[in-house]
Amino acid sequence: MTAVQPFRQYRTLGFSRILHWPPVGLSEVTLGRGYDMGNRSAGEIYATLRQAELEEYKASLCARAAGLKGKRAGEFVKVYGPLVGEITHQQQIGLFEIAYSEKLAYTKSVYGRVSRRIPDAPSWQSFDQRIKDVLVDIFFQGVENTAALFSAAIKGKQALIIHIQSSTTYMSYEMNRLRHLK
Average confidence (pLDDT) per 10 residues, the chain, 182 residues: 49 74 81 91 97 97 96 94 93 93 95 92 94 91 89 94 89 69 54
Kindly state whether residues 14 and 63 are assigned to the same domain. yes
The domain boundary residue, chosen from 58, 87, 116 = 87
Kindly state whether residues 82 and 163 are assigned to the same domain. no
> What number of other Cβ atoms are within 10 A of residue 92's Cβ?
19
Residue 87 DSSP label: P
Number of domains in the chain: 2
User: Phi/psi of residue 181, each to 5°?
Assistant: -85, 95
pLDDT given for residue 179 in this prediction: 61
> What number of other Cβ atoms are within 10 A of residue 95's Cβ?
24
Kindly state whether residues 41 and 9 are assigned to the same domain. yes
Q: Specify the 3-state DSSP secondary structure of 127.
A: coil
The domain boundary residue, chosen from 38, 67, 87 = 87
Kindly state whether residues 123 and 43 are assigned to the same domain. no
Kindly state whether residues 98 and 66 are assigned to the same domain. no
pLDDT given for residue 16 in this prediction: 82
Query: Is 147 among the domain residues?
Result: yes
Kindly state whether residues 31 and 103 are assigned to the same domain. no
Query: Is 182 among the domain residues?
Result: no
- Could you list the residue range(s) of the whole structural domain that residue 167 is in? 91-177
Kindly state whether residues 8 and 65 are assigned to the same domain. yes
| Residue spans of alpha helices (H) in 7-117 | 42-51, 56-63, 71-84, 89-115
User: Phi/psi of residue 159, each to 5°?
Assistant: -65, -35
Spatial CA neighbour of 65 closest among 82, 86, 79: 79
CA distance 88 to 125: 34
Q: pTM for the complete prediction? A: 0.79
CA distance 91 to 50: 10
Kindly state whether residues 63 and 144 are assigned to the same domain. no
Kindly state whether residues 145 and 68 are assigned to the same domain. no
pLDDT given for residue 172 in this prediction: 78
Kindly state whether residues 102 and 159 are assigned to the same domain. yes
Query: Is 170 among the domain residues?
Result: yes
Kindly state whether residues 74 and 145 are assigned to the same domain. no
Largest distance between two CA atoms of the chain: 56
pLDDT given for residue 181 in this prediction: 55
The domain boundary residue, chosen from 40, 59, 87 = 87
Query: Is 172 among the domain residues?
Result: yes
Kindly state whether residues 80 and 101 are assigned to the same domain. no
Residues paired with residue 20 on neighbouring β-strands, in sequence order: 30
> What number of other Cβ atoms are within 10 A of residue 144's Cβ?
13
pLDDT given for residue 27 in this prediction: 86
pLDDT given for residue 34 in this prediction: 82
